[in-house]
Each structure stands twice: as C-alpha cells, then as structure tokens.
Amino acid sequence: MPTLTANPLDRLRLVQWLSPSFPIGAFAYSQGLEQAITDGAVTSPETLENWVRATLSFGSGRMDAIFLAHARAPDADISALADLACAYAASAERMLEMTEQGRAFGRTIEALTGEAQPALPYALAVGYATRDLQVSTEEVLQIWLQGLAAQQIAAAVKFMPLGQTSGQTVLANLAATILALAQTCATAPQSALSSTSFGADMAQMRHETMDVRIFRS
C-alpha cells in the first residue's frame, strides 16, 4: 500500500485544529483525574504517568482514537458511529465532555471553513472534519492522542503539586506509547472497541458528586 504524503498546509491546519488553544473548552475537563488526585490515587509524576498511559491505552483514549479513525472513512455511517460512541459513554460527565467539546469544535471549524459540520461527539467531529485533509490517519491520531495526554497533564499541574517541567517530562515519557497506539488504532476494526480502564471510569462517575471541584469531569 503506498504511503500517503502529507500536504504541508493540511498538516498545519491539523496542528491548529488540535492545538490546546483551539476553543473547545478542554481546559475545563479532567476525565476523572481530579477525583483520582483527591482520592490519593495520583500523587506524583510517576503515578500520573501510569494513570494517563492507562487511560490512553485501555480506556477513553483508545476508544476515541478508533472512533476518529472510522469517522475519516469516505463511506462512514457517521450517525451510527455517533450513536455507538454515546452508548459507550461510561458516565454522565463523559457524555457531557464528548458532546460539548464536539459541538464547540464543529462550530469553530464551520466558521473557519464555511462548511457545515454535524453535531457529533468530539472524536467523531475531528474525524469528520479532517477526512479531506491530506494527512494520514496515523498522523492525525498521533497529534490527537498527544493532545489528550497533554490535557490530562495540564489538569494535574493545576490541581496537585506538580511543576510545569515535571508535567512536560511525563508527556515526553508517553511519546512511545502514543506512537504505538496511533499505529494500532488507525486500522483497528470496530470490533476492537473496548474499555478496561475501570478506575478512571469509576473516578469520573464519583466526580459527579464531588462537593468542591474545579473541573467539569
């Protein structure tokens, strides 16, 4: 199979769309990490790295990566994928995170490109919006997963005694995991969809009833 040569302009568009500064409100979500820190499950750079690696490899990160890859297919049934993604949401906060970020992403892409964007869960919204970019799905997933990891690490930097340098070290340590996961998920069938990050899912469920919190999930 020939290798897709990325269009430099499309790659720049992709980096912009998946940048932490892109206005989707990602800073407001921790994916249950705030609860895990409160519970004492995440207390150091090492435990944070383990937590983020697990959610990427076995939980919401992996699930979203597979959904994103399938949404980029020219013949994708995007409505069916959206229904499936919502059915897999493990908590009310997870559903809120998916739908609100997806809606915000779609609105901004529509304003930038002039092309109508359907209201979709975030991963599917990204897949749908990038389907015509001349950038391989594997590369899209590399940048996407890097962004997911960076989002969780940024939440930890805000909420626990963790300096910016330590946070960047954790992100750098996850690079090999991100590359391997992107390669696997780029061609994974829908039958590969599964999640076994029970601790993260339960933390997000319990987060719904936290008395004092700074994040929405």
pLDDT, residue 139, reads: 97
| Helices marked H in the chain | 8-17, 33-39, 45-58, 60-71, 78-88, 92-113, 122-129, 137-159, 164-173, 175-185, 198-207
Mean pLDDT of the chain: 91
DSSP letter, residue 27? G
pLDDT, residue 3, reads: 57
Classify domain 27-207 by CATH number.
1.10.4190.10
Per domain, the residue ranges of the chain are 27-207
Whether the pLDDT of residue 217 is over 80: the answer is: no
- For residues 167 and 154, what is the distance between their CA atoms, to the nearest angstrom? 7
Average pLDDT over residues 68-90: 95
Spatial neighbors of 13 by CB under 8 A, at least 6 apart, are 133
Average pLDDT over residues 172-201: 94
Whether the pLDDT of residue 212 is over 70: the answer is: no
- For residues 160 and 37, what is the distance between their CA atoms, to the nearest angstrom? 7
What pLDDT, in 10s, does the model give residues 115-162?
999 999 999 999 999 999 999 999 999 999 999 999 999 988 988 888
More confident residue, 91 or 30: 91
Give me the torsion for CA of 193, 196, 199, 202, rounded to 10°. Answer: 50
More confident residue, 13 or 25: 13
Give the number of other Cβ atoms within 10 Å of residue 198's Cβ: 12
Alpha-carbon radius of gyration of the chain: 17
| Cβ proximity of 58 and 196 under 8 Å | yes
DSSP letter, residue 122? H
- For the chain, percent of residues with pLDDT exceeding 70: 96
pLDDT, residue 148, reads: 93
